[in-house]
């Protein structure tokens, strides 16, 4: 295929890439090629099994990226998982379908991305979605699952709903009573996907309720459309870098790839090259193509095509921890999609003081993040982003933590994370060799508010387990346990447990940020890379700020909107 030419080349056949490929190939006269490093996982039980979360980890469909040793977080390296398959990370993720707080998406516009707000994104969340009404599935009777039809789509490609293993023994209702009985109650929220997430909810998942198998990007956006003659996919093909046309404009005309047989080829694009390789790959592909920080590129002998030093900066993730408690009931092979999203006023007993203290620290935080990357991202821009984040937390009341309850065997597992950490790091290439591992440094726990919020979420979980009826249904805290972290421990008292046991929450974003160029943006509000005439990024890299909820629903929606932008409809 080495002399082939296409209108559009999409690099990465993952969550966002397959949305773009599907929507562009709706135009019959438009040819689209998707380049995907992985293969098909249509019949891979580690993918399809709805109770199989984690089974794909460490297998050949997991990129298993390694971070640098995390100096603020106990010194060790973390594994950041990502799917290497047609369907990308949607084939190995936790299938949770939770969007964002409306005010968070509105902040994208506030910071300078015209046209990007909750109101303009909601139609795209819906466009992609095919919610399967739980009333159609008798196995969901009594489970407590619910939704508000105003916020959902019913005819899109992506099936969203609940599995046949959903617990329906009354635990959902008891959790609700427990949340109402807290000293500062967390109210029931019937549908957390309508732009207000605060509260206690049962959330839907990306699942085919009929077949009880995972719904991933390939099942939603590719397989039903694979007969389109203008839609092409090269599997097991690694994109190495973009190729450029000669001339005054910076225009991509193709992609250099390594084919499955090991040979290198260049495939041509006549219109656009669209990067969708994920937040830890797309910025590295830009660098390999000469787009980035000249000081970094020159170290590896790469000539600078576009001086865009913030490529790979602003990397944000969350940190995931868990507490475990004995359960007096035994649960087997059931799913319980129970989430709570406390606001700052609900999580922090002294929220006003916490807010005032954090506000005083923001200038120092901004300076610290800037100096860690040699002021490539600037203190004044970071301060602006941090102040927006502060406003979201303390004025708009977004959730500051997410708490998931997962009964398993005779244990109540919880997973939790502070929703919007302030720490920011980077991802950069380590070599001109496109197969070399990148240098990934999220700088977990660099800023002390991030530890404080993470510790406070743990205290909050302890309070939940001391509140009836959950208190009567559960036994001792088995991890970390009161002998490891005493009741009433301060942040210092929690630090060893948190930093010794956290993992990446697998939500890396902002490494090719959609922001005005003068604020350090890499792509403009049409997702085009600054300085190029025809290169876009459409994946998690472009999200300007972290979202509460999980990433996939927002990534699907952003890609849906991106497709309309490329088609000239927005
Ligand atoms: P991806 O879907 O990762 O797509 C990138 C694609 O590019 C991949 O297919 C990859 O193989 C390919 N690629 C990369 N480099 C190259 C190259 N050089 N050449 C060719 N192809 C390349 N989100 C949720 O909403 N709910 C959850 O429950 C949830 N759980 C998660 C659990 C885990 C373990 C992980 C890792 C993530 C989870 N997420 C969850 C996050 C969410 O799944 C991801 O943020 C999202 O899928 C990323 O989409 P993307 O389009 O940015 O990238």
Q: What integer best gives the mean pLDDT of the chain? A: 97
**What is the mean pLDDT of the segment spanning 449-471?**
98
Structure tokens, 102: 């409306």
Residue 3: its pLDDT value, please? 59
In this model, does residue 385 exceed pLDDT 60?
A: yes
Instruction: Give the DSSP per-residue string, 438-488.
Output: PEEE--TT-SHHHHHHHHHHHHHHHHHHTSTTHHHHEEEEEES-TTTS-TT
**What is the mean pLDDT of the segment spanning 474-500?**
98
Distances (CA, A) of 299 to 236, 288, 295, 296, 431: 30, 12, 7, 5, 9
Instruction: Compute, in angstroms, the gap from residue 153 CA to the centroid of ligand 1.
Output: 23
Higher per-residue pLDDT: 1 or 431: 431
Residue 193 beta carbon below 6 angstroms from any ligand 1 atom: no
C-alpha–C-alpha distance, residues 244 and 251, integer Å? 6
Alpha helices in 92-227, H assignment, sequence order: 102-110, 118-128, 171-180, 217
Structure tokens, 402: 């997410």
For residue 287, which of 258, 307, 264 has the smallest C-alpha distance? 307
Structure tokens, 537: 């990024």
Neighbours of 174 (CB within 10 A): 16
566: part of which helix (H) or strand (E)?
A: helix 551-566
3-state secondary structure 227-273: CCCCEEEECCCEEEEEEECCCCCECEEEEEEECCCCCEEEEEEEEEE
**What is the mean pLDDT of the segment spanning 414-422?**
98
**What is the mean pLDDT of the segment spanning 128-144?**
97
- pLDDT band (50, 70, 90) for residue 355: very high
The residues, any chain, with a CB within 8 Å of residue 162's CB and separated by 6 or more, are 132, 134, 137, 140, 143, 145, 204, 205, 207, 209, 335, 337
Q: Is 550 a catalytic residue?
A: yes
Ligand 1 mutation pick, 34, 65, 82, 508, max ligand atoms within 8 A of CB: 82
In this model, does residue 495 exceed pLDDT 90?
A: yes
Task: Give the phi and the psi of residue 142 in degrees, each rounded to 5.
Answer: 80, -5
Atom number, ligand 1, closest to the C-alpha of residue 550: 25
Residue 289 beta carbon below 6 angstroms from any ligand 1 atom: no
In this model, does residue 248 exceed pLDDT 80?
A: yes
Structure tokens, 284: 């590295």
In this model, does residue 185 exceed pLDDT 70?
A: yes
Atom number, ligand 1, closest to the C-alpha of residue 277: 7
Instruction: Give the DSSP per-residue string, 385-449.
Output: HHHHHHHHHHTS--B-EEEEEEEEEEEEEEEEEESS----BEEE-SSSSTTSPPEEE--TT-SHH
Residue with tokens 């001109």, as numbered in its chain: 432
Atom number, ligand 1, closest to the C-alpha of residue 98: 25
Q: Name which residue sits closest to atom 14 of ligand 1, judged by CA.
A: 277
Atom number, ligand 1, closest to the C-alpha of residue 279: 52
Residue 247: its pLDDT value, please? 85
ipTM for the complex? 1.00
The answer, yes or no, to whether the previous bond of 469 is cis (omega within 30 of 0) is yes
**What is the mean pLDDT of the segment spanning 195-203?**
98
Instruction: Compute, in angstroms, the gap from residue 13 CA to the centroid of ligand 1.
Output: 10
Write the pLDDT tens digit of every residue in 50-93. 999 999 999 999 999 999 999 999 999 999 999 999 999 999 99
Residue 1: its pLDDT value, please? 55
Instruction: Compute, in angstroms, the gap from residue 84 CA to the centroid of ligand 1.
Output: 8
Are the C-beta atoms of residues 102 and 78 closer than 8 Å to each other?
Answer: no
9: part of which helix (H) or strand (E)?
A: strand 5-11
Instruction: Compute, in angstroms, the gap from residue 401 CA to the centroid of ligand 1.
Output: 22
Strand pairing category for 401-418 and 199-202: unpaired
339: part of which helix (H) or strand (E)?
A: strand 338-341
Strand pairing category for 535-537 and 264-275: parallel
Distances (CA, A) of 22 to 231, 233, 397, 551: 8, 11, 37, 20
Instruction: Compute, in angstroms, the gap from residue 552 CA to the centroid of ligand 1.
Output: 8
Residue 36 beta carbon below 6 angstroms from any ligand 1 atom: yes
Q: Is 1 a catalytic residue?
A: no
Distances (CA, A) of 283 to 86, 416, 427: 20, 29, 8
Longest Cα separation, the chain: 73
Task: Give the phi and the psi of residue 180 in degrees, each rounded to 5.
Answer: -70, -25
Residue 92 beta carbon below 6 angstroms from any ligand 1 atom: yes
């Amino acid at each position: 295929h080495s002399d082939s030419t296409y209108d559009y080349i999409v690099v990465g056949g993952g969550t966002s890439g397959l949305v773009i490929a599907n929507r562009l190939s709706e135009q019959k006269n438009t040819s689209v090629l998707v380049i995907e490093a992985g293969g098909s996982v249509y019949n891979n039980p580690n993918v399809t099994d709805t109770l199989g979360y984690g089974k794909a980890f460490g297998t050949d469909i997991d990129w298993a990226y390694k971070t640098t040793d995390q100096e603020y977080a106990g010194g060790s390296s973390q594994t950041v998982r990502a799917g290497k398959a047609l369907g990308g990370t949607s084939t190995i993720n936790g299938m949770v379908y939770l969007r964002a707080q409306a005010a968070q998406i509105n902040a994208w516009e506030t910071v300078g991305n015209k046209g990007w707000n909750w109101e303009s994104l909601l139609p795209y969340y819906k466009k992609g979605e095919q919610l399967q009404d739980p009333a159609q599935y008798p196995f969901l009777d009594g489970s407590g699952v619910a939704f508000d039809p105003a916020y959902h789509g019913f005819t899109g490609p992506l099936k969203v709903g609940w599995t046949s293993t959903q617990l329906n023994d009354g635990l959902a209702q008891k959790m609700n009573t427990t949340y109402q009985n807290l000293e500062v109650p967390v109210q029931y929220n019937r549908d957390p996907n309508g732009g207000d997430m605060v509260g206690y909810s049962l959330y839907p998942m990306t699942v085919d309720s009929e077949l009880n198998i995972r719904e991933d990007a390939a099942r939603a956006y590719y397989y039903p459309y694979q007969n389109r003659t203008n839609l092409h996919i090269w599997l097991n093909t690694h994109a190495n870098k973009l190729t450029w046309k000669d001339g005054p404009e910076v225009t991509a005309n193709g992609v250099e790839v390594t084919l499955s047989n090991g040979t290198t080829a260049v495939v041509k694009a006549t219109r656009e090259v669209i990067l969708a390789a994920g937040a830890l790959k797309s910025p590295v592909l830009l660098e390999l193509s000469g787009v980035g920080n000249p000081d970094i590129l020159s170290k590896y002998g790469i000539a600078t095509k576009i001086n865009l030093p913030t490529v790979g900066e602003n990397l944000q993730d969350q940190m995931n921890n868990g507490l475990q408690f004995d359960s007096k009931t035994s649960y087997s092979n059931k799913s319980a999609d129970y989430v709570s999203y406390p606001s700052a006023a609900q999580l922090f007993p002294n929220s006003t003081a916490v807010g005032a203290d954090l506000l005083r620290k923001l200038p120092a935080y901004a300076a610290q993040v800037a100096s860690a990357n040699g002021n490539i991202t600037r203190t004044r821009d970071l301060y602006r982003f941090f102040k927006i984040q502060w406003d979201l937390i303390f004025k708009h009341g977004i959730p500051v933590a997410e708490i998931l309850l997962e009964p398993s065997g005779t244990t109540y597992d919880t997973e939790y994370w502070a929703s919007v950490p302030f720490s920011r790091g980077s991802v950069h290439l380590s070599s001109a060799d496109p197969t070399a591992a990148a240098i990934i440094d999220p700088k977990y726990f660099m800023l002390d508010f991030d530890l404080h919020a993470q510790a406070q979420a743990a205290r909050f979980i302890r309070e939940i387990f001391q509140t009836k009826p959950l208190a009567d249904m559960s036994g001792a805290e088995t991890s970390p346990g009161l002998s490891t972290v005493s009741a009433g421990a301060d942040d210092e008292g929690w630090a060893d447990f948190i930093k010794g046991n956290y993992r990446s929450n697998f939500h890396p974003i902002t490494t090719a940020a959609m922001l005005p160029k003068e604020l350090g943006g890499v792509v403009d509000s049409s997702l085009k890379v600054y300085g190029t005439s025809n290169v876009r990024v459409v994946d998690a890299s472009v999200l300007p700020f972290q979202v509460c909820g999980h990433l996939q629903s927002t990534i699907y929606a952003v890609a849906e909107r991106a497709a309309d932008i490329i088609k000239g409809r927005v």
